[in-house]
Amino acid sequence: MAEPGTILAASGLGKRFGALVVLGDVDFAVREGEAVGIVGPNGAGKTTLLNVLSGAYPPSAGRVTFRGQDVSALDAAARCRRGIARSHQIPRPFSGMTVFENLLVAARAGGGLRGRAAELRCLDALEQCAMMPLANRRGETLGLLDRKRLELARALATGPQVLLLDEIGGGLTDGEAADLVGIIQAIRARGIAVVWIEHIVHILVQVVGRLVCMDAGRVIAEGAPGDVLRDAAVIDAYLGPSAHAHPVG
């Protein structure tokens, strides 16, 4: 599993909440600079996988490694300082602070930068996410698309090597989603690995080179997006066993 070039990996990862098994024995790896999409029906354990990778919860079994080091015992803040950033499905800007300040806290705490270096990092993240005109707006006054961009920019400001995105396209119009795809492609072009959970498959496949499909806490298919979407097990998971005649994708 420790293939050269692997940046973030999970092996034998399990997560249970009491008697409820949400993740059972998941193996998952991302190479440096790679973009991986995760799909699966509701309740498949996608968000839980992201939470265990980012450190929001400790795993019940297995381990998470980042650059070959075991980070299973570290909390989200410590993993963020090492280079694992995450955005939430429901954007949570810090209200009462401007967009720029939102980024500044991230660049200083998560990126470990000070003074001018921190400010430059924030400007760069603003530019990257096309938020420069909004720099002095307060976080809570932003609309949905801008809040999602702020989530991205704030994660970028921490200087990540891996960016974990949770359904960032949800609730957007097609045009807005296209804006977002452009930003994420640019982030990827900088060599930042992206792990992206998304229900809107057609925007996902514009970015990712590999798709992982989960169901009931397990990985059921993995590979090139087209192949995964035609996989019999994937079609079963989404549409039930009788739908083979009409493949999705």
Partner 1 sequence: MILLNQLLQGVFLGGYYALIACSLSFMFGVMRIVNLAHGSIVVLAAFLLFVLADRFEISPWLALVAVVPVMAGLGLLLQRFVLDRSLRGGLLVPLLATFGLAIVLDNALFESFGADTRSLSPYIGDLSYNSWSITEDITVGQLDVLILAVAILLLGGLQVLLSRTRIGRAIRATAEDPGTVGLIGIDARAVYGMATAIAMGMAAIAGAFLAMRATFDPYSGGAQLIFAFEAVVIGGFGSLWGTLAGGIVLGVAQNIGAAIDPSGFFIAGHVTFLTVLVGRVAAGGDLFRFFIRRRRA
- Contact residues: partner 1, CB under 8 A: 54-56, 75-78, 80-81, 85-88, 92, 94-97, 101-102, 104-106, 108-112, 114, 154-155, 157-158
Instruction: Give dist(CA 56, CA 207) in Å, integer.
Output: 26
Shortest distance, position 243 Cβ to partner 1, whole Å: 38
Q: Round to whole Å and give the CA distance between 120 and 142.
A: 23
For the chain, count helices (H), then strands (E). 9, 10
Q: Which is nearer to partner 1, 149 or 213 (CB)?
A: 149
**Residue among 25 and 124 whose Cβ is closer to partner 1:** 124
Q: Compare residues 16 and 88 and give the one whose CB is closer to partner 1.
A: 88
CB of 121: closest distance to partner 1 in angstroms?
12
Q: Shortest gap between Cβ of 227 and partner 1 (angstroms)?
A: 33
- Judged by beta carbon, residue 122 or residue 221, the one nearer partner 1 is 122
**Strand 84-87 with 162-166, pairing:** parallel
- Looking at residue 138, the DSSP 8-state letter turns out to be B
- From the CB of 41, what's the least distance to partner 1, in Å? 26
Distances (CA, A) of 68 to 34, 64, 205: 16, 9, 28
Q: What pairing do the DSSP bridges indicate for beta strands 20-31 and 84-87?
A: unpaired
CB of 203 to partner 1, least distance (A): 23
The dihedrals phi and psi of 53, each to the nearest 5 degrees, come to -65, -40
Given the complex with partner 1, which of 114 and 244 has the nearer CB atom? 114
Q: Is 136 helix (H, G, I), strand (E, B) or coil?
A: coil
